[in-house]
């Protein structure tokens, strides 16, 4: 089978690896000069990440793909039990061990919250468990958690929601949030662990995948046109996986599958702003600290790259669900002021870089209609936005890529193409 993969983000690289492993003749096209899509490094010494990324232990397919491509995941990721320390406060810390037990023990031991607040959280979590982590599709996270004390909402639910769904709790899908919690608490030992990149983002997947794919990956190639069945800019293929952005996928399918294109075109987006500060000689109390967001405080998290094996004195502040800050246009200065107010510095921090991704992820709102993976026979979509249980994450992208590859291979097998369908 000759298969075209359009886009070399994590979804496209996942699809291409699966297809190539199954004996397909794969060609991957990406319009950018480097692979990795949104999860890539950008120029700097050492390189910056195009947005600080966090993985969790439940990202099983992403970790398996990295290993398949020869990446030593223990070397490139710092793994630690989930902890949400705030400046000057230890915050919630889960002990090692089975995630559900660790969650219960961690919450009970968290003396920063009054005992009734801890018990209310455990009772709410038990209710979610009993209901199978399901709720009405139209429910939002703020409503789901409306019975919880303010301190739990502010210190746990709101930061977790905006980190995982890139959507504020009042607008975020409770169904997807519960799915993330379920996977973090029920995917086996270590599934709730935080995995922080110790190397520039491209080294996690994009660069090793490029080396593995070799000339099968063509960069600087923006696919202009797809015609049934199937031509990619005039070259014939047996199948196509669209692993580009939803906007580009909608453009490429507008004539071929107008309904699908319309759904993809309608997806709303949320920005993320990553603000890098420099402060030589400074060090945070932990590699990652949570921060309290507010009207003058945009960032929800800060990462100390010196403690993560990167540039000493470089600090990445993350502003997720950043639509209001992008509209205001002063996220960088506001983060600098927040940093000066909330953290101790060995030398005055200075604004280094502000990276704004206006379409960082789709806005994960209740009942959102997402386009299906299967568009037409021989034409599949892969990407973090494709219909599925996950929010827009690396794991969602990798799973979507694998699912599209699987779909292509199954259709190929049904038509008798000589691939090794796993």
| Cα dihedral 63/67/73/74 (nearest 10) | 120
- Among residues 118 and 251, whose Cβ is nearest to ligand FAD? 251
Q: How far is the CB of 37 from ligand FAD (least distance, A)?
A: 2
Q: Which of 193, 293, 352, 357 binds ligand FAD (CB under 6 A)?
A: 357
Q: How far apart are CA 180 and CA 163, in angstroms?
A: 11
CB of 130 to ligand FAD, least distance (A): 28
Binding track, positions 37-56, relative to ligand FAD; x by CB under 6 A: xxx-----------x-xx--
**Strand extents, DSSP E, 281-394:** 288-290, 301-304, 314-319, 350-362, 374-376, 379-381
Should residue 61 be labelled a site residue for ligand FAD when binding is judged by CB under 6 A? no
Question: Is 352 near ligand FAD (CB under 6 A)?
Answer: no
Tokens of residue 24, six digits: 């397909």
**DSSP classification of residue 155:** I
Considering only residues 213, 368, 394, 408, which one is a binding residue for ligand FAD as defined by CB under 6 A?
394
* Pairwise CA distance, residues 374 & 263, whole Å: 13
Which residue, 51 or 378, is less far from ligand FAD as judged by CB? 51
Determine the size of the site formed for ligand FAD (CB under 6 A): 34
CB 312 → ligand FAD: shortest distance, Å? Answer: 22
Can residue 73 be called a binding residue for ligand FAD (CB under 6 A)? Answer: no
For the CA atoms of 127, 129, 133, 136, the dihedral, rounded to the nearest 10 degrees, stands at: -20
CB of 410 to ligand FAD, least distance (A): 21
What six digits make up the tokens of 97?
A: 């061990």
DSSP H helices, 329-422, are: 331-342, 394-415
| Residue 30 beta carbon to ligand FAD: minimum distance, rounded to whole angstroms | 4
The sign of the dihedral angle between the CA atoms of 382, 383, 385, 389 is positive
Q: Residues 131, 222, 262, 358: which binds ligand FAD (CB under 6 A)? A: 222
Q: Is 184 in the site for ligand FAD (CB under 6 A)?
A: no
CA 276 to chain centre: 19
State in angstroms the smallest separation of the CB of 201 from ligand FAD. Answer: 9
Rounded Cα distance, 322 and 162, in Å: 10
Q: Are 419 and 24 in contact (CB under 8 A)?
A: yes
Minimum distance between the CB of residue 402 and ligand FAD, rounded to whole angstroms?
12
Shortest distance in whole angstroms from residue 127 CB to ligand FAD: 27
Let me know: does 271 contact 33? Beta carbons within 8 Å: no
Rg for the chain, CA atoms, rounded: 22
**One character per residue 246-265, x = contact with ligand FAD (rule: CB under 6 A):** --x-----------------
DSSP string computed for 15-43: HHHHHHHTT-EEEEEESSSSS-TTS-EES
Token representation of residue 112: 């920063």
C-beta of 80 vs 151, nearer to ligand FAD: 80
Chosen residue from 2, 21, 23, 31 binding ligand FAD by CB under 6 A: 31
Q: Is 23 left (phi over 0), alpha (psi -120 to 50) or beta?
A: left
User: Which pair of structure tokens corresponds to residue 295?
Assistant: 């009207």
The Cα–Cα gap between 342 and 151 comes to 18
Q: Which of 16, 22, 29, 208 binds ligand FAD (CB under 6 A)?
A: 29
Q: Is residue 193 at the binding interface for ligand FAD, with CB under 6 A as the rule? A: no
Smallest distance from the beta carbon of 351 to ligand FAD, in angstroms? Answer: 17
392 contacts ligand FAD (rule: CB under 6 A): yes
3-class DSSP state for residue 316? strand
**Considering beta carbons, is residue 103 or 303 the nearer one to ligand FAD?**
303
Q: Rounded to the nearest whole angstrom, what is the least distance from the CB of residue 226 to ligand FAD in the complex? A: 9
Taking the complex as a whole, the smallest distance from the CB of residue 385 to ligand FAD amounts, in Å, to 7
Does position 91 interact with ligand FAD (CB under 6 A)? The reply is no
The stretch among 9-17, 77-85, 143-151, 281-289 that binds ligand FAD (CB under 6 A) is: 9-17
Q: Return the range that interacts with ligand FAD (CB under 6 A); candidates 86-94, 146-154, 332-340, 389-397.
A: 389-397
Interatomic CA distance for residues 403 and 324, integer angstroms:
35
Among 69, 71, 192, 243, binds ligand FAD (CB under 6 A): 243
Q: Does 237 sit near ligand FAD (CB under 6 A)?
A: no
Cα–Cα dist 284/277, whole Å: 13
Q: Please, which contacts does 102-107 make with residues 24 or more away whose CB atoms are closer than 8 Å?
A: 102/192, 103/185, 103/192, 106/82
Binding site for ligand FAD (CB under 6 A): 6-12, 29-32, 37-39, 51, 53-54, 222-223, 243-245, 248, 272, 274, 357, 360-361, 383-384, 392-394, 397
């Amino acid at each position: 089978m000759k298969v075209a993969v359009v886009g070399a983000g994590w979804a496209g690289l996942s699809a291409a690896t699966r297809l190539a492993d199954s004996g397909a003749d794969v060609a991957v096209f990406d319009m950018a000069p480097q692979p990795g899509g949104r999860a890539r490094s950008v120029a700097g010494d050492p390189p910056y990440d195009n947005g600080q990324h966090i993985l969790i232990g439940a990202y099983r397919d992403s970790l398996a793909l990295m290993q398949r491509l020869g990446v030593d995941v223990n070397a490139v990721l710092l793994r630690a039990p989930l902890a949400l320390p705030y400046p000057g406060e230890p915050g919630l810390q889960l002990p090692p061990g089975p995630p559900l037990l660790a969650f219960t023990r961690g919450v009970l031991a968290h003396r920063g919250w009054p005992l009734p607040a801890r018990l209310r959280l455990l009772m709410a979590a038990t209710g979610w468990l009993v209901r199978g982590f399901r709720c009405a599709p139209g429910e939002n996270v703020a409503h789901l958690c409306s019975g919880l004390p303010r301190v739990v909402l502010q210190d746990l639910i709101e930061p977790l929601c905006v980190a995982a769904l890139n959507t504020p709790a009042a607008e975020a899908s409770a169904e997807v949030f519960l799915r993330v919690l379920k996977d973090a608490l029920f995917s086996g030992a270590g599934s709730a662990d935080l995995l922080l990149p110790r190397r520039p983002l491209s080294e996690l997947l994009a660069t090793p995948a490029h080396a593995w794919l070799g000339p099968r990956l063509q960069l600087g190639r923006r696919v202009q046109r797809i015609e049934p069945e199937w031509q990619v800019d005039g070259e014939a293929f047996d199948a196509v996986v669209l692993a580009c952005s939803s906007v580009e996928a909608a453009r490429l399918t507008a004539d071929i599958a107008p309904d699908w294109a319309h759904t993809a075109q309608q997806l709303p987006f949320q920005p993320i702003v990553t603000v890098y500060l420099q402060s030589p000689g400074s060090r945070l109390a932990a590699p990652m600290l949570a921060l309290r967001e507010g009207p003058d405080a945009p960032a929800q998290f800060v990462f100390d790259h010196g403690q993560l094996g990167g540039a000493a004195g470089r600090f990445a502040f993350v502003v997720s669900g950043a639509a209001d800050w992008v509209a205001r246009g002063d996220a960088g200065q506001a983060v600098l002021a927040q940093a000066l107010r909330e953290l101790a510095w060995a030398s005055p921090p200075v604004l280094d870089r502000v990276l704004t991704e206006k379409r960082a992820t789709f806005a994960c709102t209740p009942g959102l209609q997402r386009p299906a993976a299967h568009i037409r026979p021989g034409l599949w979509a892969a990407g973090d936005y494709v219909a599925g249980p996950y929010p827009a994450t690396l794991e969602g992208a990798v799973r979507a890529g694998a699912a599209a590859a699987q779909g292509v291979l199954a259709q190929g097998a049904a038509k008798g193409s000589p691939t090794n369908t796993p």
